[in-house]
Amino acid sequence: MPKPKQIDLCDGSVIPILYEDRNVLALDKPSGWMLAPNTWVHTSRNLQLALESSLMGGDFWARSRNLKFIRYIHRLDADASGILLMAKNPAVLAVLSKLFEERRVDKHYLAVIEGIPNQAEWECALPLAEKVPSHKPRPGKEGVKTFEASKVRAYVDPQNGKPALTQFRLLAQNGKRALIEAHPLTGRTHQIRVHLAESSFPIVGDTLYGKKGATLALRALQISYRDPFQKKQICITAPYKRFAAAYGFPEFQFPETKSSAE
């Protein structure tokens, strides 16, 4: 029997599997799932805990792979959707985490922003620092929105901030909003969100740095890296048409990944 191409969780959630090899699973994380420690046991929206519980419960997606371990390699904001890379064993976790730390993973995002940029391409190099909130919610009991709002908050700090660089490209526009591609060349906390907000183009639905909204319009579109185990280049692209259509761009087609968009 073939291995399922999705993970069915006990609450009815379906997590599509975008890519798999002997070392990793690339999941299409839905918006609203947090990446929190597995000690956050009082919420059904902790993706790491949900996956571990499903694995230990012997669910077919894990059993068919003889999977004994799963752990996220990098972070994706709770309200963002898209590619999330998961390690299948601790050794892979250590090696690929280092790739992210050393900026050897190329990442591209789609975002819907408030306003229309007057440039087709631009970049933001404002240095960023982090502010740790004084209040932290009890594990899982106050929900995803509170978890997001109480996280470390990033801000521009020209004197003491760490270097941060994001490249942007205008893809489409519709009324007072635009669809853009964001390419972060560094990996600071909330880098894309802060750089866009500081450029006067906050992401639609960004409660922290823009206006309140139902959903953060940010999607991890593509990840590519040189796999040190297989000695080859890996490029993973997430579907994007539903995301674009949901924000008023039904005809949009990403020009560089036409074959991967369906």
Alpha helices in the chain (DSSP H): 47-56, 60-63, 90-101, 143-149, 191-198, 241-246
Three-state secondary-structure class, residue 204: coil
Distance CA 256, CA 262 (A): 13
- Residue 168 is encoded by which pair of tokens? 């942007």
DSSP state of 106: E
Q: Is 33 exposed, middle or buried (0-12, 13-18, 19+ CB in 10 A)?
A: buried
Dihedral (CA of 55, 59, 62, 67) sign? positive
Of the residues 77, 79, 206, 227, which is catalytic?
77
CA-closest candidate to residue 5, choices 33, 24, 27, 23: 27
CA-closest candidate to residue 202, choices 132, 124, 108: 124
* Number of other CB atoms surrounding residue 204 within 10 Å: 20
- Residue 229 is encoded by which pair of tokens? 């185990």
Active site residue 77: yes
- Return the active site residues: 77
